[in-house]
Amino acid sequence: MTAHQSELIQAGLNNFLMIGDVYRRDEIDRTHYPVFHQVDVVRLKTREEIFINNENLHIFEEGNNTSFTGDQEKQSHHTLEAVKLMEYELKGTLVELAKCLFGEDVKYQWVDAYFPFTLPSWELEIFHDNDWMELLGCGIMHQKILSNVGVTDKIGWAFGLGLERIAMCLYKIPDIRLFWSKDSGFLNQFNTEDVNKNIIYVPISQYPQCVNDISFWLPNSQFSCNDFYDLARSLGGDLIEQVQLIDTFTHPTTQKVSHCYRITYRHMERTLTQAEVNVINKSIETVITELGGKIR
């Protein structure tokens, strides 16, 4: 998505919105899925647009035109005044968006975050279903992105939000996997000519979970939780509802590291048997062994 942003910026666009398909290795639970649809928004501003009628303030630090370092306060390239005004506009825009979607009384909070293309960066969380849920990520665009496409007189902010997660809140859909369901009982609930209609999802049916644990010594020091999530998803597919790392242990002598994951299985349209999930669990254990891990 960000690569396409660069193309549009180079084409001369200062304000634009993009929608695309996104794939991401990520944690597994009812609000995360490896494929989703994202909206990216970019806004660029010149010094004159930020500091209206004030010629004494500038976007860039004097004498710092080559450094692209920085921290959560600001990039070294930027003046604090420019960053704070852009942050104020960005956060104000997104709070109004949250209120428009979820009502004036929506509870929200800002959390410092890391994203590879913005600095400083934040996540906007809303209080939904008795828990804080990440709604979107945003921040001040890395100036190097603009510099690389020949834009040297502007500063920008950007944000990206997942459409499925917003729809889950608006329509009270409990599980992100439902968006890939072909069940007419699900799809027909959203057939309407009124885009503003207040649709509340009605569950098709409820099926019990099956839970299995896998504990193993990691194949190598580079093995991460995301590696296991990716492996579990590739072998278990949509039958896996959630994967949780429930224990980490480091052997005091060998310094080998062990992980224990709890895998929750649930079929969206029928009851799973323990025998079925045992087959998937065994295939995961087999691949871990082939990669050099050791099942405990």
Long-range contacts of 6-10 (CB under 8 A, 24+ apart): 6/145, 6/148, 6/149, 8/42, 9/42, 9/44, 9/145, 9/146, 9/149, 9/151, 9/156, 10/149, 10/150, 10/151
Phi and psi of 7, rounded to 5°? -65, -40
pLDDT confidence of residue 127: 92
In angstroms, rounded to a whole number, what is the distance separating the alpha carbons of residues 88 and 253? 52
pLDDT confidence of residue 236: 94
In angstroms, rounded to a whole number, what is the distance separating the alpha carbons of residues 88 and 65? 24
Tokens 């608006």 sit at which residue? 170
Q: Is 170 left (phi over 0), alpha (psi -120 to 50) or beta?
A: alpha
| Amino acid, single-letter form, for residue 130 | N
pLDDT confidence of residue 196: 83
In angstroms, rounded to a whole number, what is the distance separating the alpha carbons of residues 234 and 247? 22
In angstroms, rounded to a whole number, what is the distance separating the alpha carbons of residues 70 and 131? 32
pLDDT confidence of residue 34: 86
pLDDT confidence of residue 66: 58
What is the enclosing helix (H) or strand (E) of 181? none
pLDDT confidence of residue 79: 94
pLDDT confidence of residue 4: 82
pLDDT confidence of residue 3: 74
Q: Of 3.40.50.2300, 3.40.50.150, 3.30.930.10, 3.30.230.10, which CATH number belongs to 2-171?
A: 3.30.930.10
Q: How far apart are the first and last CA of the chain?
A: 41
Q: Is 71 left (phi over 0), alpha (psi -120 to 50) or beta?
A: beta
The structural domains of the chain, with segments of one domain joined by +, span: 2-171, 210-295
Per-residue pLDDT of the chain (296 residues; tens, 9 = 90+): 777 888 999 999 999 999 999 888 878 888 788 888 999 999 999 999 999 988 889 999 887 555 678 889 999 989 999 999 999 999 999 999 999 999 999 999 999 999 989 999 999 999 988 888 889 999 999 999 999 999 999 999 999 999 998 999 899 998 888 998 887 788 889 988 888 888 999 887 678 889 999 999 999 989 999 999 999 999 999 899 889 999 999 999 999 999 999 999 988 888 999 999 999 999 999 999 999 999 99
> What is the pTM for the complete model shown?
0.73
pLDDT confidence of residue 129: 80
Class of domain 210-295: alpha beta
